[in-house]
Amino acid sequence: MEIHGWGRYPTVNADIDEPVDALSLSQLLQVQDQQQPAIPRGAGRSYGDSALAERVISSRFLDHFVKFDDAAGEIVCASGVTLEQILQISVPKGWFLPVVPGTRFVTVGGAIASDVHGKNHHLDGCFSEFVKSIGVMLASGETVQCSHTRQKNLFRATCGGMGLTGVILQATLKLSRIESAFIKQTALPAANLDEIFTLFEENAHSKYSVAWLDCLAKGKNLGRSLLYLGEHATDNNLELQDSFSVSVPFHSPGFLLNKYSIGVFNSGYFNLNKRGNGDKQLHYENYFFPLDRIHHWNRLYGRKGFLQYQFVIPTETAKEGISSVLREVSNKGKGSFLTVLKKMGQQNKNFLSFPLDGYTLALDFKYEQSLLPLLDRLDEIVLAHDGKFYLAKDARMNEQTFKQAYPEWEKFMKVRNQVDPDDRFTSLQARRLGLVSAPNGDRHVQ
């Protein structure tokens, strides 16, 4: 069947295997007529082609809980369990996931393979910091337990390794104690990039911080933003809310998203919200996952899909590099409907993990051929400032760019060659980035 990532670009015709347990997965890997390379796939929420291949191993039925210790705040679950399912049972007990990305619909396996980060990376780091152990089935069918202290190199290659070391079967996660299901939010407007960087630094002690940014603003307004700070409330209200949501029923015509419509939206959004200083209390779903209330929001970009471009630049040159990126985007009129700026913290030891001590900017662009030269130019700017790119969002980076941005790729490959010498696990992205060899019979659609 034809599948794609959340960006809906690219697509591939894939055979999908859906093992129900470790035994069936092991048998699947041993069947001789199933030797075509495959990639593990969770909920399909990575944006590009990191979970796309001609054969996919889905964790759809690996979705059970093993244990929840609500006294110690530890949970053991299979890799196909989603973050939403964890929060549904943990929040009423006074526990929260220490790190969550922008959607609660990702699986635990996907969160580990992407080593996702959240609005608190500057204080708490990535998802992997709170993974106590992982069970990984290798290409041989053997299941290996790894952690920060056991089989450390396999752990560092698997966390952020985009599924290329094996299939994550199970994980033990450490949770964080909370007193409320609500977040106290403070909104602060910034007239330009200088102001938003100052606000981030002045509020570096805040538990959560994220900024919406107007990517089309120019001149003295370049980088005008709204910073949203968050802290866990302490009102002892741990009730879940009934999630109100709407759905985009069809693909919007691509021409509706252009520099004019995005410019009008950005100006209106900034002017409407810049007066909204002060505190308000939001349910955690509304603070962390606002877009989850719009099912299939990716259809707004049209049938050709969209590319999300996310990079991080070290603190020392972040303002300069991000200024250059924003000027290029604004001058080309390639407006991003959603532009998000975050402060990041210390880099971890995982070989292909994305974050480093600096600032990350994420932009969404409607897919069109004329976009690609702009993104190539942005690559040059990011690399010139010693930055790197998020593999979970990538759909077009070339091998040279990747290897310059990720200097530890050879350490990753050393582990990968030990656990999967025959390239049994591969993806479109891995072949594009030079991490595996391309097999025959490529069925890439677009």
**pLDDT tens track for 254-310:** 655 665 455 555 555 556 666 655 689 999 999 999 999 888 888 888 889 999 999
Instruction: Give the model confidence (pLDDT) of 200-244 as tens digits.
Output: 999 999 999 999 999 888 899 999 999 999 999 999 999 998 766
Q: Would you state the pLDDT for residue 180?
A: 98
Contacts of 431 (CB under 8 A, 6+ apart): 437, 438
Q: What separation, in Å, do the N-terminal and C-terminal C-alpha atoms of the chain show?
A: 14
Q: What is the DSSP string of 295-325?
A: ETGGGGG-TT-EEEEEEEEEHHHHHHHHHHH
Rounded distance, CA 408 to CA 431, Å?
18
Rounded distance, CA 145 to CA 139, Å?
14
The percentage of the chain sitting over the pLDDT mark of 70, rounded to a whole number, equals: 90
Checking if the pLDDT of 86 tops 70, the result is yes
Rounded distance, CA 216 to CA 219, Å?
10
| pLDDT-derived band at 436, boundaries 50, 70, 90 | confident
Give the CA distances from residue 172 to residues 81, 127, 137, 175, in Å, rounded to whole numbers and listed in that order. 12, 12, 15, 10
Secondary-structure class of domain 65-177 per CATH: alpha beta
Phi, psi dihedrals of residue 310, rounded to the nearest 5°: -125, 130
Rounded distance, CA 361 to CA 424, Å?
34
Checking if the pLDDT of 73 tops 80, the result is yes
**Mean pLDDT, the chain, whole residue set:** 92
Provide CATH code, domain 182-395: 3.30.70.2520
Rounded distance, CA 39 to CA 205, Å?
39
Checking if the pLDDT of 182 tops 90, the result is yes
Q: List the single range of 45-59, 169-183, 268-282 with lowest mean pLDDT.
A: 268-282
- Full-model pTM: 0.94
β-strand 39-41 against 55-58: which pairing, if any?
A: parallel
Q: Would you state the pLDDT for residue 424?
A: 94
Instruction: Give the model confidence (pLDDT) of 128-142 as tens digits.
Output: 999 999 999 999 999
Phi, psi dihedrals of residue 434, rounded to the nearest 5°: 80, 25
Q: Would you state the pLDDT for residue 440?
A: 42
Sorted by where each begins, the domain ranges of the chain are 2-59+404-432, 65-177, 182-395
Q: Would you state the pLDDT for residue 222?
A: 93
Query: Can you tell me which residue has the tokens 């599948």?
Result: 3
Checking if the pLDDT of 91 tops 50, the result is yes
H or E stretch at 397: none
Q: Would you state the pLDDT for residue 439?
A: 47
Radius of gyration of the chain, Cα coordinates, nearest whole angstrom: 21
Q: Would you state the pLDDT for residue 276?
A: 55
Tell me whether domains 65-177 and 182-395 share a fold: no
Please give the average per-residue pLDDT across 318-341, as a whole number: 91
Bridge partner residues of 38 (DSSP): 425
Q: Would you state the pLDDT for residue 300?
A: 83
Measured N-to-C along each axis, helices 315-332 and 371-384 cross at an angle, to the nearest 10 degrees, of 160
Give the CA distances from residue 1 to residues 20, 146, 414, in Å, rounded to whole numbers and listed in that order. 20, 34, 33
Asked if 131 and 173 count as a contact pair (C-beta separation under 8 A), the reply is yes
Instruction: Give the model confidence (pLDDT) of 377-415 as tens digits.
Output: 999 999 999 999 999 999 999 999 999 999 999 999 999
Asked if 191 and 237 count as a contact pair (C-beta separation under 8 A), the reply is no
User: C-alpha 163: how far from its chain's center?
Assistant: 14
Asked if 386 and 317 count as a contact pair (C-beta separation under 8 A), the reply is yes
Strand ranges (E), 119-181: 131-137, 143-146, 167-174, 176-177
Checking if the pLDDT of 371 tops 80, the result is yes
Q: Would you state the pLDDT for residue 250?
A: 63
Please give the average per-residue pLDDT across 421-425, as a whole number: 94
Long-range CB contact pairs, 238-242, < 8 A, 24+ = 238/91, 238/92, 238/93, 238/94, 238/178, 238/179, 238/180, 238/181, 239/92, 239/181, 240/88, 240/91, 240/92, 240/181, 241/181, 241/283, 241/285
